[in-house]
Structures are given as structure tokens and as C-alpha cells.
Structure 1
Amino acid sequence: MITVHHLNNSRSQRVLWLLEELGLDYEIVRYQRDARTMLAPPELRKVHPLGKSPVITENDLTIAESGAIVEYLVDRHGRGKLKPERGTAEQLRYTYWLHYAEGSAMPPLLMSLVFRRIPTQPMPFFVRPIAKGISDKVLTNFVEPQLRQHRDYLEGELKHREWFAGNEFTAADIQMSFPVEAFAARGGLGGEKSRLAEWLKRIQARPAYQRALERGGPYDLMR
């Protein structure tokens, strides 16, 4: 049996979605973020030393990192589903987007989250204007231009094909769901008629996506 160690409002939601798309049986062990720090609870370190989510276990295997989990589940249990044929241009794009999602898209999104929170953290009142000034400068001069660059890049890619790897839905779209949803929550997707916004509507309408939400529970990327 596959066990998903599921942290609320986290990347593990897309692992549930992948399992639903593949029609696999699984169980969920739930963990809640600290309400003040939003960090994962220490209990997750009993599953994996880094104490982060997602993590899955199956028999004697423990697998962390979203991309590694996606590749493992599709290769071992996919029966040829959700992955392009080997040696094709689609397969190269599929591999690229599996890595891009965490390697390139998420760092500026994470920086945006961190620097927007800095001015709201406990600190002496006379330090707050300085902290806000530094945060605003970093956001304006570095983070926000990076977010626009990535958003425009993704928009341009979807002008050439319906899904990220090609004209068929794959696990690369599942992997890309978290950064695109984070863009929608924090920076916008350039309007309802943008290709990214249309892509997001399509994935969120999928029955497996809806089933994963029902099993995973409330999902809020603004936190």
C-alpha cells in the first residue's frame, strides 16, 4: 500500500492528484503546519530526516521530493499512462518541466512569500520601517521582475501546445500545477483569457483533481 505523508497547503496535494489520475489505492497520514510559523511539524522527521512534505512510503521504500515521487509512481505504477513515448520531443519536454517546476519556477515564488512576510513579523517598532523598506526594494527590483519573466515564459510555451509536454495531458502538468497555482494566488496570471489561466481551469476541472481535493482537505496557497 502506498502511504502519502500529507502536509496541509503543500506540494503533497499534487501527489494525491497523481494517484487519483493513476487510479491507485493509497492511504493518507495527515500533518498540520504550525499556525504561527507555517512550518511542518517535527513528526515528519520520523518519516524523512528533512521533515518536509511530500513524502511517500511503499513497502520498505521512502521517497521524498515531488519530482522523484512523480517519476517513481508513473514509472512503477503508470502502465504507460501520463508519460510521453520515449525518444520523442514530447518526452524531452516532459522531463524538462518535471525539473523546471521546482528548480526554476518555485525559488522566486518562495522569495516573494518570504519577503512579503518580513514586515509583519515581530520586531521592535523602530526596525519595522527599515525591514519594510528593504523587503519592498528586493521585491520591486528583483523578485517581481523574475515572476513576470517566468509568467511570460510559461504563457509563451502554452501558445504552442495545449499541455506542457505536448498535446496530451501528462504528469508534467501535475508537477507544474503547484507553481502555476502559486502564481495565480500571489502574482496573477495575466487575466482570465491568458493561456495559463485557461490551462489552470482545465486541470482544476479534471475529476481526479477534484477527488484529490476531497481527500486532501482544504487547500490555500495564500498562506
Structure 2
Amino acid sequence: MPELTIYHLEGRRSERLVWLMEELNLPYNLVFERGSLAGSMAKIKAVNPDMPMAPTVTLGAQVLVESGAIIELLLGRYAPNELHPPIDSDEYASYLMWMHYAEGSLAARLIADYRTWLKEPPTERSRLVDSEATVQFAENYLAKNAWFGGEDFSAADIMMLFPLTLATSLNIVDEAQFPKIALWKEKAVARPAYKRMLEKARPDGMIGMLPKLPSHAPAGPRR
């Protein structure tokens, strides 16, 4: 395996790659300035001036972004039998859906609603798919499955933890409405590899947190 370096911002999506490498017990370098998002971003810009974002990864001579794509690449090349269901199983289809749902549907909707509701708090559900609907879709799946890859922990769980934590920590949705997600989170963050990730990638806890919304959209049917 070529040398892998993860350029990191504390509390951001780059944690996914640190967690992955800890789960796989594969070697990596971790680069960030402890306690300084600006300092860490300067390190990212030095290696990736065209698209300075976290995670930025160097794999040998290549510079890569997008956590989901990097996870799929690393698993496919260096851990083909790890952290996903068998490719010919029904569970693999669900696993792959959640791998992409995490950013493509869930995080995108959460961030869009957050930005809107920060300026104008919601008074009713949207007619369209809103944050509560995207989170409820995950809740419904976990009502029937232990993990987002089916019966076993997988990289899909690594992808899903960030947006589902964002949803509740910023009060975009009411955490009390999603008990299955709450139980799943407890299991995910109890994993030894996750705890090692926190020690290495978030040694001082969260820094630079966004403000919580004063209120989330009311629960109930869309209008």
C-alpha cells in the first residue's frame, strides 16, 4: 500500500477516514494543527490549493478528496473483504445505498434546511422531502436492521454517523423522535476503533461548532 496521509479538520468529515483506518488497522499519517481549524486548513491548502477541503488525502503521489470515494477506493484495493457485506448479497445493495445516501441525500438536505431555518425558523413541515423525512428513512431501516450494512458493522455506518450526529447536535431534527438511531449511535461510538479515532483526531473535543437552531420543524405529516 502506498503511503497514506490524511489532512484533517477536527470534528469534520475527515474523521471518517481516521476511523476507517483504525478499524482496518492499516498505517496512515494524520496531519492537522491541534485546536486550530485555520491552521489545519492552511496545511490542506498547501497540498490541495485547487480544492482545499477535509478530508484531503495523499495516496502515494495522488491527491484525493471526497470521503465516500476514498473509503470505497481503500476498501476495494487494500481491504476487499472488510467492512462491507458480500458483493453478491442483498445486504450489499443496501450498504452501497447508505454509503451514498449519507452525503447525496441526507447531509445535503440537512445543510440546506439548516441554512434556511437559521434565518427563518420553520413553523410547519415542507411539502417536499425535508430533514425529518431523510432522517426518518434511516430510522425506519434501523427498526429492521442492526447496522446500515445489515447485520454487521460496515463502512456505511462510518459514513452515516457524521450527518446523523449533525442532525441532532444542531437541533435540525428532534432527537427524541428517533430512538433507533440513538441506540445505533451508542453502539457505533462504543467501538474501540472509534474511541481511538477520537483520541487521535479530536483530542480536545469539538472546536468551531456551528450554532444550534432555535427550533426545528414540527413533527408530523408534510403539508
TM-score by length of 1: 0.80
Matched ranges for 1:207-222 at <5 A: 207-217=192-202, 218-219=205-206, 222=209
Cα deviations by residue, 1:182-219 (Å, 9 ceiling, x for unpaired): 11212355428711000000001000000000000223
* Higher share in helix: 1
Q: Distance in 2 between matches of 1:205 and 1:5?
A: 25
Task: Rate the CA distance shift 1:204–1:71 in 2: closer, same or farther, 3 A.
Answer: same
| Distance 1:177-1:200 versus aligned 2 partners, 3 A rule | same
Residue 41, structure 1, aligned to residue 41, structure 2: yes
Size of the aligned set, in residue pairs, is 202
Structure 2 distance, partners of 1:17, 1:79, is 17
Question: For residues 79-119 of structure 1, what are the alpha-carbon distances to aligned partners after superposition, in whole Å with 9 as ceiling and x for unaligned?
Answer: 411011112111111111111100000112212443355xx
Tell me whether 54-63 or 18-27 shows the greater mean CA deviation: 54-63
Which structure 2 residues correspond to residues 92-107 of structure 1 after superposition, within 5 A? 92-107=93-108
Matches of 2:127 and 2:56, distance apart in 1 = 29
SS of 2:58's equivalent in the other structure is strand
Whichever residue aligns with residue 86 of structure 1, its letter is: I
| Alignment gaps of 5+ in structure 1 | 118-131
Runs of 4+ in structure 1 over 6 Å off: none
1:7 aligned to which of 6, 9, 33: 9
Q: Aligned equivalents of 2:57 and 2:43: distance in 1?
A: 14
Letter in 2 for 1:28: L
1:125-158 CA-partner distances (Å, limit 9, x unpaired): xxxxxxx4xx335x85549971111121111111
Distance 2:76 2:136 in 1: 31
Contact kept? 2:132, 2:173, Cα under 8 Å? no
In structure 2, the residue matched to 1:91 is 92
1:206 and 2:191 matched = yes
The answer to whether structure 1 residue 21 and structure 2 residue 23 are counterparts is yes
Q: Determine what percentage of the aligned residue pairs are the same residue.
A: 31
Q: Which amino acid is the alignment partner of residue 176 of structure 2?
A: G
Structural RMSD (CA) = 2.6
TM-score of the pair, normalised by structure 2: 0.80
Question: Which residue in the other structure is 1:182 paired with?
Answer: 166
- How far apart are 1:173 and its partner, in Å? 0.6
**8 Å Cα contact 2:106/2:135 also seen in 1:** no
Contact (CA 8 Å) 2:22, 2:197: kept in 1 or not? yes
In structure 2, list runs of 5 or more residues that go unmatched.
Answer: 211-223
Change (3 A) 1:6 1:144: farther
